[in-house]
Chains A and B, each alone.
Chain A
């Protein structure tokens, strides 16, 4: 499957095609044209290109084209051998911290770091002198000189893998260090290593050509492309093709390795991958524009968010309608993947193509986001708080100036005034010593403090709506409490409305007036939060509430569980999306999707015992 993916893209096709040609030449050229390449023709010394000798002959009258083809084997073998030496040494050195323990490992790592800092060519020349002139010496020299770069790469990759819990678990299970390396670490770093080795082989080919060209590499009577270039150099003005021919071969072969590496990288999902085939065939259903509900700060109708995906469009939000009144607090609950966050992002105007947002209307603080260029003007009437504020702050900038940026951009404040407001806002979100804190970087803040600072950033303007997506999920109870209290206080002071997204039913009931329950991209129930635990009518809502233990849960009974898995947003079932997991489902449910009527989307809401 992966191989197919590699070949299907133009880079992969060109790379593989070229590499196949080069390898075929390396394998068969000496057999096929070895005789012709060695045949001396004294009547035809240093001849120019002709029908018989495509790029001419050398000083013994031997056919240069045949010699270039024949030289492929030695050139490729040497390049591959040198790359293999680099790779093996690199893996050994990179794995040293894992195998030798902390102290010795650190020594090896610093040595590698020093070597990486040396110019590569200098290392090659140094080792070439150490290992002696000739093909074997050159291969060793290039291989050893390339090892530090691989060692560093291996070290970084392996360090990332050894942090993973499965490595710790294997150690605890008594698996030896070597076996951990062989079974868990190497297979998981193999892909990037292969990619890098392939690309490096292209570079090594060039280095080799350089060495032979300088006379340090392959020695007569053997010849590789570098040696041929050196031989051709004498007559470069009369007979340029003699030197250029082998040069072109080097470039083509190098390109073959590099393109193949690129294609591998793309197929393995490393680096950037332009033009990956994501399908979005689904025709746009036209959405009729509808007017906003009056006296609301947020009014959404028929919101759909569709993401192009490898297996077809992912219909993450499939038609959500709701409104938030001035000053109201509305919660959204549901399992992960139910479309909560995308709803929030759409409301915040933060979704960009290729993800598609459609709606009858999506009006935030009087501004219709479905109109072109609208979120520009949204500016400061909206504040946004995310789950992980570490990703919402720029780690390279101090906190104060980042807050100030908002006012400088949206309210056209001067630098001084904006910074003063930032400090004031940090104080407003109860960050102690706000002047000092404003000069710190985000990583110097604890999780709870970052979350406060994020709220402070929202308060730089005059928000009428605060959208908070799992604002306390990464925090523990005491800090969560403080952040929720802060949100409540901000709302009391500013009269802002709140859209709070959380998977934690108890947080939502604690903070919000009204709750929307989402399942598979739809609102399945909407009810006052005080009724969530007792008066829910949708089977999903009831299961969700029952599945979460609280401080009053009956300890003598097992917790309720929701059987099965959440709906796959690529293949949402035709009828009610909850039907495969619903104890009440019947054929009607499986065929006809229930609409949201009187706050609940279920055919049997009246039958559910309350």
Chain B
């Protein structure tokens, strides 16, 4: 695994600056959580790293070299909506095979598909299923397996549990932690849910109005926040301040 670093990244749509000189490092084998309210540019940052959003300024480097934005990217992304992230007409196996870096023979391909499905705790028999037969959580696991199929150096996970039911979310979060432990994955984990980020991330970056306002080890940022905005986010959590008395 490798280090993905954002240097003074700036993204503008027309006159609207979405990201303003964002610098952030996802170091080897670490999971970095990115939190912030909706519209603050979290997805844009991830999309810029895989060439889906145009950079207006700055650089995104993988081990010191620019991330290629053509061909198979060494940085892979998993998306938020489980119902839009898999082609409804391709079987699970076909979706995985498409993302594999080299063309394999039939048996080697089957073996690789089975290996990937096992990594995300799915039965190899699922390879023949169309996405329509999978639950939301299963789809997200297939999407994760597809990202792994490309043998990436870094994975960007954009709100991958927010469309899932709570009972399924837990399974996906456990999986993310297992994968970091077993595969040493580097990951940028985007979520607006602080409790979820606290559970999976080693470091947390807080994005506000297109700028990183706080960055540090998870326990420190969420336990002893230094920036006002981080404190504001934490105070907004249900149960943080009793609602009934406060109003």
* Residues on A facing B (Cβ under 8 Å): 164-166, 168-175, 183-184, 187-188, 335-336, 447, 475-481, 484-485, 488-489, 492, 503-507, 509-511, 543-544, 547-551, 553, 555, 558-562, 565-566
**Chain B residues, Cβ within 8 Å of A478:** 37, 232-233, 236
Q: Which of B37, B84, B167, B236 has the most CB of A within 10 A?
A: B167
CB contacts under 8 Å to A, within B230-247, are: 232-233, 235-240, 242-244, 246-247
The 6 lowest CB-CB distance pairs between A and B, nearest first, are A174-B72, A165-B79, A559-B170, A173-B99, A481-B236, A506-B238
Q: Is the CB of A184 within 8 A of B233?
A: no
CA distance A408 to B63 in the complex (A): 65
- Among B15-23, B25-33, B112-120, B190-198, the stretch that binds chain A is B190-198
Looking at the complex, which of B1-9, B85-93, B209-217 is the stretch in contact with chain A? Answer: B85-93
- Do A547 and B192 touch across chains, with their CB atoms under 8 A apart? no
A477 touches B76 (CB 8 A): no
Contact for A506 among B88, B89, B174, B239, CB less than 8 A = B239
B107 within 8 A of A: no
Contact with A along B74-105 (1 / 0, CB 8 A): 01110111001111111000010011010000
B198 touching A485, Cβ below 8 Å: no
Given contacts A175-B98, A476-B192, A477-B237, contact A168 B243 (CB under 8 A): no
**Cross-chain contact B233 with A477 (CB below 8 angstroms):** yes
The answer to whether B79 and A169 have CB atoms under 8 Å apart is yes
**Contact in complex: A561, B76 (CB < 8 Å):** no
The complex places the Cα of A174 from the Cα of B167 at a distance, in Å, of 34
**Cβ-closest chain A residue relative to B101:** A174
A166 contacts which of B80, B87, B173, B237 (Cβ < 8 Å)?
A: B87
Question: B134-156: which have CB < 8 Å to A?
Answer: 135, 143, 146-147, 149-150
User: Which residues of chain B come closer than 8 Å to A336, judged between CB atoms?
Assistant: 165
Q: Given A547-B170, A555-B199, A172–B50 Cβ distance below 8 Å?
A: yes
Main secondary structure of the interface of A (DSSP, over half): helix
A187, A503, A509: which contacts B238 (Cβ < 8 A)? A509
Determine if B86 and A166 form an interchain contact, defined as CB atoms under 8 angstroms apart.
yes
Cβ–Cβ contact A547 & B169, under 8 A: yes
B126 in the interface (beta carbon within 8 A): no
From the candidates A168, A485, A489, name the one contacting B52 in the complex (CB within 8 A): A168
B71 within 8 A of A: yes
A183 and B73 in contact, given A477-B233, A506-B239, A547-B167 (Cβ under 8 angstroms): no
Residues of A within 8 A of B135 (CB): 565
Given contacts A168-B79, A169-B99, A479-B37, contact A558 B174 (CB under 8 A): yes
Assembly CA distance A504 to B162 (angstroms): 11
Knowing that A173-B99, A548-B170, A561-B171 touch, tell me 11 more A-B residue pairs with CB under 8 angstroms. A172-B52, A477-B236, A478-B37, A478-B233, A488-B247, A506-B237, A510-B238, A549-B173, A550-B195, A562-B167, A565-B135
Complex Cα–Cα for A505 and B247 (A)? 21
A470 to chain B, nearest CB (A): 12
| B38 & A447 in contact (Cβ 8 Å cutoff) | yes
Inter-chain CB contacts under 8 Å: number = 160
Q: Within the assembled complex, what's the spacing in Å between the Cα atoms of A597 and B166?
A: 26
Write the chain A residue with the least CB distance to B178: A558
CB distance from B204 to the nearest CB of A (A): 13
User: Are B198 and A169 in contact, CB atoms less than 8 angstroms apart?
Assistant: no
- Give every chain A residue within 8 A of B52 (Cβ-Cβ): 168, 171-172
Q: Report which B residues bind A (CB closer than 8 A).
A: 37-38, 50-52, 70-73, 75-77, 79-81, 84-90, 95, 98-99, 101, 135, 143, 146-147, 149-150, 165-167, 169-171, 173-174, 177, 192-196, 198-199, 222, 232-233, 235-240, 242-244, 246-247
For the complex, what is the distance from the CA of A542 to the CA of B199, rounded to whole Å? 20
Is A172 in contact with B77, judged by CB distance below 8 angstroms?
A: yes
- A561 engages B87 (CB within 8 Å): no
Docked CA distance A558–B173 (Å): 9
Contact A166 B165 (CB under 8 A): no
Residues of A with C-beta under 8 A to B192: 476-477
For B75, what are the chain A residues with a Cβ–Cβ distance below 8 Å? 172
Q: List 28 A-B contacts (CB under 8 A).
A: A168-B52, A168-B79, A169-B77, A169-B146, A172-B75, A172-B150, A174-B73, A174-B101, A175-B98, A336-B165, A447-B38, A477-B192, A481-B236, A492-B247, A504-B238, A510-B239, A510-B243, A543-B167, A548-B195, A549-B170, A549-B173, A549-B199, A558-B174, A558-B177, A561-B167, A561-B170, A561-B174, A562-B170
CB < 8 Å neighbour of B76 from A166, A173, A479, A506: A173
Would you call A174 and B37 a contact (CB within 8 A)? Answer: no
Give the residue among A164, A188, A447, A476 with the most B Cβ atoms within 10 A: A476
Contacts of B90 in A (CB 8 A): 183-184
- Choose one: A164, A505, A551; the contact of B194 (CB below 8 Å): A551
A128 to B182 Cα, complex, angstroms: 68
Task: Choose among B146, B174, B247 the residue that contacts A489 (Cβ–Cβ < 8 A).
Answer: B247
**Of A184, A489, A492, A510, which is within 8 A of B87 by CB?**
A184
* A565 cross-chain contacts in B, Cβ below 8 A: 135
Cα–Cα, bound, A531→B166 (Å): 19
Complex CA–CA separation, A169 to B77 (angstroms): 7
Q: A485-B247, A549-B196, A551-B222 are in contact. Are A169 and B72 (CB under 8 A)?
A: no
Cβ–Cβ contact B37 & A173, under 8 A: no
Closest B residue to A163 by beta carbon equals: B84
Chain A residue, CB-CB nearest to B242 = A510
Give bound CA distance, A569 to B194, whole Å.
Answer: 33
The reply to whether A476 and B38 contact each other, CB–CB distance below 8 Å, is: yes
Q: Which residue of B lies closest to A489 (CB)?
A: B247
Query: In the complex, how many angstroms separate the beta carbon of A438 from the nearest chain B beta carbon?
Result: 24
Q: Are the C-beta atoms of A173 and B98 separated by less than 8 Å?
A: yes
What is the distance, in angstroms, from A36's C-beta to the closest C-beta of chain B?
A: 48
Which residues of chain B come closer than 8 Å to A559, judged between CB atoms? 170-171, 173-174, 199
> Chain A residues with Cβ under 8 A from B166's Cβ?
335, 503-505, 544, 547-548
